[in-house]
Amino acid sequence: MKVMLNTIFQRHWNPYVVLLIAGLLSALYFGLTSTVWAVTGEFTRLGGDILLLLGVNVSDWQYYEMVKLKGSTWNRPDGWIVWGMFIGALMMVLLSNSFKIRLPQQKRRYVQGFVGGIIAGFGARLALGCNLAAFFTGVPQFSLHSWIFIIATGIGTFFGAKLTKMLWWKGRPSLARGAAQPSKVKARVIQPYLGAAIAIAYIGLMVYFFATGQKLLGLGALFGLAFGILIERGQICFTSAFRDLFLVGRSLMAKAIIVGMAASSVLTLIVISIYDLNPITQIAALSTFVGGVLFGLGIVMASGCETGMMYRLMEGQVLFLPVFVGNIIGATLLAYAWDHLGIYNVLVKSGAKINLLDAIGPVGAILSTLAMLGMLYALTVYRERNYHRHFELKRAAK
Amino acid sequence: MQTHKEADFTLDLRGESCPYPVIYTLEALEGMKKGELLQVITDCPGSFRNVPEEAIAHGYTFAQEPVKNGQEYLFYIYA
């Protein structure tokens, strides 16, 4: 029992296992609700809610018509995906006694997080999805826009990683001579009790949703919770998948994400054919590429994407408060610019919704998707080896 | 917990989020003489895994097992 508790709460879970489960759950969620695991659409709606509260009439903004700004966030399944993720992450943080207010030593991080958050929020919504709907849950829907988005995110992240390495950006660490004392550990442990209380209250809420016939809200709350638990325990970080490959030749997260997407693609195809569902296809256009590059750059500047930001904030990493605010501002700015500043006409209008299932049939779609993922995997391994070969040479020359 | 040898340098990264703990740690190790001991104090949960794994992947060795100290970790790495 103690061993099991230790494995669940004291250690972080293997990212491969976590992303496999997340990939399978998101296919299942699609089968049950015909929507996908996504977060930034809801961030845009939250921005709309706030503007409405401030007396700004957004009802005629085209973007809000498209993403269906209706009711409050508590009455939207997508809303409960977001809040469920926050609560699931917080629950696990508390149960594992790992909450701590963490204030960055480098004050510049707050500015970097805020600006990066705005760019990432703007880019994600321009491309119609973040690392989820245009990436992790977009590829399994066979929507071509997610292929463009992945390439573009890679490019954006590459420049972000270059920026991260500059001294004025990263700042000097506090390297001191000699040994230093670690923090004193508090003897009284109360976090797990708080975590358990939140878990019980949340289960009550889900029971209420299902008992009162609000099935979609209940499913949103349930799957949101599961995704929140998974990303926190697995420390799933899409930002690091590309970035760390460029920075230090680290490949773990990229490989795990690719494996998770492959499993999710296969299961989604099965779900689509059994239940005869329509896959969710977004417009592939110049906006997808531009949005992806901005998103890639923004998430590295902010040190986290719209998903990773959520559990880090719950861990007490204060840096991610300005990132969250930035994400919502960026998404809302895009919603405004969509029709008011002509972004739709310039970048989106000429595009088309292309789904591989319609274009080349189910067999072609799954084979080409798996081939594309296989190629990404090979590139990841190549980059990792290349990095370490160069590093060895540099070390030997020293 | 007894350390075998007093650390030559300490990198206090408490409060810093990823990827800066990894970047700082690798840079500090690169700037030190071979055999010197670096103590790293970090509280970013992502760094509990990527700092030790990358230190090893970059050819450095650990003086002792990582120490979990409440919500932070202590690493002792030879340059």
Which residue, among A11, A13, A96, A100, would best test binding to B if mutated, counting the most B CBs under 10 Å from its CB? Answer: A100
Determine the pLDDT at residue A397: 81
Tokens of A205: 């809420």
Determine the pLDDT at residue A11: 81
What are the pLDDT digits (tens) for A59-108?
Answer: 889 999 999 888 899 999 999 999 999 999 999 999 999 999 999 999 99
Residues of A with CB below 8 A from B4's CB?
Answer: none
CA atoms within 13 A of residue A227's CA, in its CB half-sphere: 32
What are the pLDDT digits (tens) for B22-38?
Answer: 999 999 999 999 999 99
Determine the pLDDT at residue A33: 94
Question: Which among B14, B23, B71 is the nearest to A98, CB-wise?
Answer: B71
Beta bridge partners of B12: B41
Average pLDDT value for residue range A250-271: 95
Whether A319 has its CB under 8 Å from any CB of chain B: the answer is yes
Question: CA-CA distance, A10 to A191, in Å (whole number)?
Answer: 13
Block residue for tokens 């961030």: A43
Determine the pLDDT at residue A202: 97
Record: contact A179-B72, CB cut-off 8 A? no
Residue A258 φ then ψ, to 5° = -65, -45
Confidence check: pLDDT of B5 > 80: no
Q: Tell me whether residue B44 is one of the annotated catalytic residues.
A: no
Whether B14 has its CB under 8 Å from any CB of chain A: the answer is yes
Q: How confident is the model at residue A1 (pLDDT cuts 50, 70, 90)?
A: low
Chain centroid to Cα B8, Å, comes to 12
Question: CA-CA distance, B73 to A316, in Å (whole number)?
Answer: 16
Whether B15 has its CB under 8 Å from any CB of chain A: the answer is yes
Residue A284 φ then ψ, to 5° = -100, 120
What is the β-pairing status of strands B72-78 and B61-62?
Answer: antiparallel
CB atoms under 10 Å from CB of A32, counted, come to 15
Give me the percent of chain A exceeding a pLDDT of 90.
Answer: 85
What is the β-pairing status of strands A352-353 and A283-284?
Answer: antiparallel
Confidence check: pLDDT of B4 > 70: no
Record: contact A170-B20, CB cut-off 8 A? yes
What are the pLDDT digits (tens) for A271-305?
Answer: 999 999 999 999 999 999 999 999 999 999 999 99
Record: contact A170-B48, CB cut-off 8 A? no
What are the pLDDT digits (tens) for A116-154?
Answer: 999 999 999 999 988 898 899 999 999 999 999 999 999
Average pLDDT of the residues of chain A: 93
Which residue, among A102, A233, A385, would best test binding to B if mutated, counting the most B CBs under 10 Å from its CB? Answer: A102
A235 and A15 Cβ atoms separated by less than 8 Å: yes
Question: CA-CA distance, A126 to A341, in Å (whole number)?
Answer: 13
Share in percent of chain A as helix, strand, coil (round to 5)? 75, 5, 25
What are the pLDDT digits (tens) for A7-62?
Answer: 777 788 999 999 999 999 999 999 999 999 999 999 999 999 999 999 999 988 99
Catalytic residue among B18, B41, B63, B74: B18
Smallest Cα distance from B13 to chain A, Å: 7
A39 and A238 Cβ atoms separated by less than 8 Å: no
Tokens of B30: 């690169």
Rg (chain A; Cα; Å): 21
Confidence check: pLDDT of A247 > 90: yes
Smallest Cα distance from A252 to chain B, Å: 10
Record: contact B74-A182, CB cut-off 8 A? yes
Q: Residue A103's closest chain B neighbor by CA?
A: B15
A117 and A323 Cβ atoms separated by less than 8 Å: yes
What are the pLDDT digits (tens) for A164-178?
Answer: 999 999 998 888 888
C-alpha separations of A288 from A52, A120, A158, A179, A350 in Å: 28, 13, 17, 50, 12
Residues of A with CB below 8 A from B55's CB?
Answer: none
Determine the pLDDT at residue A396: 83
Tokens of B39: 């103590």
Cβ-count burial B37-71 (b if 16+ within 10 Å, e if not) = bbbbbbbbbbbbbbbbebbebbebeeeeeeeeeeb
What is the β-pairing status of strands B9-12 and B37-42?
Answer: parallel
